[in-house]
A and B are shown apart, each in its own frame.
Chain A
Amino acid sequence: MTARDTFVGTSVPRPNARRLLQGKGRFVGDKVLPRMLHAAFVRSPHAHARILSVDLAAARALPGVVACYDGSDIARQVVPFVGVLTHMTGMRSPPQPALAVGVSHWQGEPVAMVVAQSRAMAEDAAALVEVDYDPLPPVCDMEAALDPACLLIHPELGSNLCWERRIETGNVEAAFATAAHLAERQFVFGRHTGVTLEPRICLCDYDGSEDRLTLHYSGQVPHMMQAVLARHLNLPEAQVRVIAEDVGGSFGIKIHTYGDEIATAAVAKLLRRPVMFAADRYESFLSDIHARDHRVAARAAIDAEGRLTALDIDDITGIGPYSVYPRSSAIEGNQVLNLTGAPYRIPAYRGRLRVVFQTKVPTCQYRGVGHPIAMAVMEGLMDDLAAASGRDPAELRAINLIPDDAYPVTSAQGVRYADLSHQACLSRLKELMEYDRLRTEQAALRAQGIHRGIGLVSMVEITNPSPAFYGIGGAPIAAQDGAMARLDASGAVHVSCSVTEQGQGTETILAQIAADVLGVDPAAVQVTTGDTATVPYGGGTWASRGAGIGGEAMLRAATALKAQIIKVAAAILQCDAGSLDLTGGQVIDATGQPRISLHALAQMVYYRGNELPPGLAPELIASRHFRVEGMPFVFSNGAMASYVEVDPETGLVRLLGHWVVEDVGTILNPKLVDEQIRGGVVQGIGGALYEECLYSPDGQLQNATLADYLVPMAGEMPDITIAHVVTPTRTSALGAKGAGEAGTTGAPGAVMNAVNDALRPLGAQISQMPMTPERILRALGTVV
């Protein structure tokens, strides 16, 4: 590599964005296959009901309808799924059928399915399906669900508890008994969901002549879906191909197993024809996984010097009627337990988590997965402790942050952290936002009756997970990823990788990495992702692992290809391989002189092998796989601040500014990293201020439209200022940590702290998200 060929670290624009800008995207819904049919689902209107009968006769009679199925019909085709990870001891969840059989457990659970020549015909017919329900009492409130008198959602389990975990280290009670200052609060985190702008969609194409199923997939994990489809449709894994081209947003929503999608695949197999299922927006709200829905009782103590002495949290979370397969719905709560207080030295810690079944839409992993809760809880307590001890919130954090030179450390929860930079990030954040000036401005405006607040967050983010996440729990989810690099006969570089692209720029950073190693222009690197038939095996894109794991695999594969090229070149040129390098599409010698182009080399290898030295058997293709070893996870870290103005008359919050200092290790593409952070911050702000799946007491989702469920819009979002501290991870040569969930991790806590900072002089505090105007007015006591 020479200085001229350094693309890693520069903001190379995404080549694949050009076609998206011209309306030439290749989304699943754009595909039309010969003899393609369309599926529509009948969904339960009840939160909980016995299904007495399903009458498909009228639907079957409608012209254009090809087939209709009830839950039992589909159950004969699909092996039910169990969303339990075996390493999370004691977790329970019953087998889940693709469509409800006998009892439906949430409003929106699919009960029957219609397949017709068009989606409109299928919907017409679905409206004619007669289902006779006997409503059962809903089990909505997570605390009430644990009452021994409560109806059991799954009687065979004996309670509505999915999983419970406790951790205790150090002497918590003694620390609280001798504390100089205490903070104690009950936090409530509402349910929200991902709202991918492209709703879930799949096109399942079964070729009976070869017993081969192809899934055109809008999702993040092609190889996981290949394994899931094979296991649950009784097909050999090698007979299942999963292809993900353009994906219209995912954010974790599209890494799960959905009964309607598996049923679509089963029906494609039965009918031996392509079948498309495209969820509409209403169905998305009622069937995409939801997330959060936690109540956390938390307290913390400091000594007279302001040092944290103990933390005690009790988290209860409602996950719907099933733990979602195959990742399980206990991960979010587990991460709350594991990560709360992560940036700080805490000698004594007690945590309890209860994961509870209820009759609402199932919850599972969505961008941030527990982190927004863990950070908001700890940072809320830190602000309370700062106020209680008369310290500035930044000062109290500085006292307690684990020093940057102290790593590696193991937290009270037993989580191992390395290569973090909390102190540097907080200090850079204060400069970036002009913290002291902002405090002065805030005080001056308070005197004029203008209520502004500053909220800080120090945070960590789990990235680049090892097999400790899912693989050890028995899930068909790879923690390693593979990359392949090859030279074609024209001398062009082709690469492929098992991590996937949903617009975050995966393909671009793969091209940058390969281009640097191989001395070519990244725009000329041909990148393939998202096809189980052509890319190496690997986990795909989740837990902010694409760049760190897929990127490292790419670096190793490209490096191996480079060695192959140089070996061939040295043989052709009759010189020492150690004197050669690659740049500008050429093999160069030690003086920098071009000796042979990649084009000429490839032409000779592929067409005129007779000119090669005898015995030389050139390979111009290499693959490498990479998994993180030595650490369960590679954490990134950062510090974030929000500046808001609260109108005490209306309860409205105006976002005035947002700052992020993030350490993602080696930065592969600054623009793409910053845009991941910005998009994540705005999703975090959504959860903090607007987004909530509102349920009636009888388990009806009351705002299942985009008009009623509020997502952030351009007009109300602030500009977001970003800076970086760079501490490469030592688990890889590339040094990249993940960046995809950092924004969502920190933003809710920062905004909540800012709102409370604004409310503090008014004697009010809010601990519930989203912080709607009504809730703020209730906190102020102006609305009862």
Chain B
Amino acid sequence: MKVTFILNGDVLRAEVEPRQNLVDFLRAMGLTGTRSGCEHGVCGACSVRVDGQVVRGCLMLAVQAEGRRVETIEGLSDSSEIADLQAAFHRHNALQCGFCTAGMLLTAQDLLTGNHAPSRADIREHLSGNYCRCTGYQAIVDAVAEVAATRVGAGIR
């Protein structure tokens, strides 16, 4: 099937198999920052943003992206939208193997977009759909909490 959507700001036209999910399609297009961890919507490694909402790339077919705006870690990195989150993750060592990290960053950005002053419990709750097997989560919570405080201080909403 033919599909047309906006991928990280650029119009993309492609031929896809109807059964191919979005994460496999994106990876086949070379956007390997989005990863497949469980293929049944639990772990969150495949998180991408579709029309501004964080979704599981393994639970959405590529053809369902028709006419939508899809954003991945590559797009958010290039636009610098989450540069502060990335820097805070780096400082706090909020990643080890890095396999979950793209999904974690997108989900953290989603939280901070909707809730400007999340408590640590809010952060933990919001990130609970993203599994990290390495860090034990605390450094991730520290990084997100720091960025939340910095953005409020800087008047960034």
- Which residues of chain A have a CB within 8 Å of any CB of chain B? 13-14, 17-18, 20-25, 27, 29-30, 120, 194-199, 246-251, 280-281, 502-505, 671-672, 675, 678-683, 705-707, 711-717, 719-720, 743
- Interface residue? B42 (CB, 8 A): yes
Enumerate chain A residues within 8 angstroms of B17, measured Cβ to Cβ.
120
Q: Are A23 and B97 in contact (CB under 8 A)?
A: no
Q: Please state if B135 and A678 are interface contacts (CB–CB under 8 Å).
A: yes
Contact of B97 among A248, A717, A720 (CB under 8 A): A248
> Which A residues touch B97, using CB under 8 A?
20, 196-198, 246-250, 502-503
Tell me if A503 and B37 are in contact (CB < 8 A). no
Min distance, Cβ B5 to any Cβ of chain A, angstroms: 19
How far is it, in angstroms, between the C-alpha of A80 and the C-alpha of B19 when the chains are bound? 38
- Residues of chain A contacted by B138 (CB below 8 angstroms): 678, 717, 719-720
Considering only CB atoms, which chain B residue lies closest to A672 in the complex?
A: B93
Cβ-based interface call for B68 (8 A)? no
Which of B32, B120, B130, B132 interacts with A29 by CB under 8 Å? B32
Residues of B within 8 A of A719 (CB): 120, 138, 141
Chain A residue at minimum C-beta to C-beta distance from B33: A23
B131 partner, pick from A20, A194, A247, A713, beta carbons under 8 A:
A713
Across the A-B interface, the 7 shortest Cβ-Cβ residue pairs: A23-B33, A20-B98, A503-B96, A248-B99, A23-B73, A682-B136, A503-B97
Checking A199, A671, A678, A715 against B136 with a beta-carbon cut-off of 8 angstroms, the contacting residue is A678
Choice from A120, A671, A714 contacting B140 with Cβ under 8 Å: A714
Contact call A25/B99, Cβ cutoff below 8 A: yes
Is the interface on chain B under 10, 10 to 19, 20 to 34, or 35 or more residues? 35 or more
Give the Cβ gap from A720 to chain B, nearest Cβ, in Å: 6
Query: What are 5 A-B pairs with beta-carbon distances under 8 A?
Result: A197-B134, A280-B39, A281-B39, A714-B123, A719-B138
Which residues in chain B, 1-57, are within 8 Å of chain A measured between CB atoms?
17, 19-20, 27, 31-40, 42-43, 45
List residues of chain B with CB within 8 A of the CB of A197: 37, 43, 45, 97, 99-100, 131-134
Interface set of B (CB-CB < 8 Å, partner A): 17, 19-20, 27, 31-40, 42-43, 45, 72-74, 77, 86, 89-91, 93, 95-102, 105, 120-121, 123-125, 127-141
Given the known A-B contacts A17-B98, A23-B74, A25-B98, are A675 and B139 also in contact in the complex, defined by CB atoms under 8 Å? yes
Interfacial chain A residues near B73, Cβ < 8 Å: 22-23
A714–B32 CB distance below 8 A = no
Contact between B99 and A23, CB atoms less than 8 A apart = no
- The CA of A505 and the CA of B36, in the complex, are separated in Å by 24
List residues of chain A with CB within 8 A of the CB of B33. Answer: 22-25
A248 and B98 contact, CB distance less than 8 A:
yes
Cβ contact within 8 Å between B86 and A22: yes
Provide the residues of chain B in CB contact with A713, threshold 8 Å.
128-129, 131, 137
Q: Which residues in A have their C-beta under 8 angstroms from that of B139?
A: 675, 678
Please pick, from B32, B42, B120, the residue contacting A23 in the complex, using a CB distance under 8 A. Answer: B32
Q: Which of A27, A120, A251, A716 contacts B99 (CB 8 A)?
A: A27
B99 near A715: Cβ-Cβ < 8 Å: no
Chain A: minimal CB distance from B73 (Å): 3
Instruction: Please give me the residue from chain A that is nearest to B72 by CB atom.
Output: A23
Name the CB-closest residue of B to A678.
Answer: B136
Q: Shortest CB–CB separation between residue B35 and chain A, in angstroms?
A: 7
B135 in contact with A679 (CB, 8 Å): yes
Bound: A679/B96 CA distance, A:
9
How far, in angstroms, from A681 to B31 measured CA to CA in the complex?
33
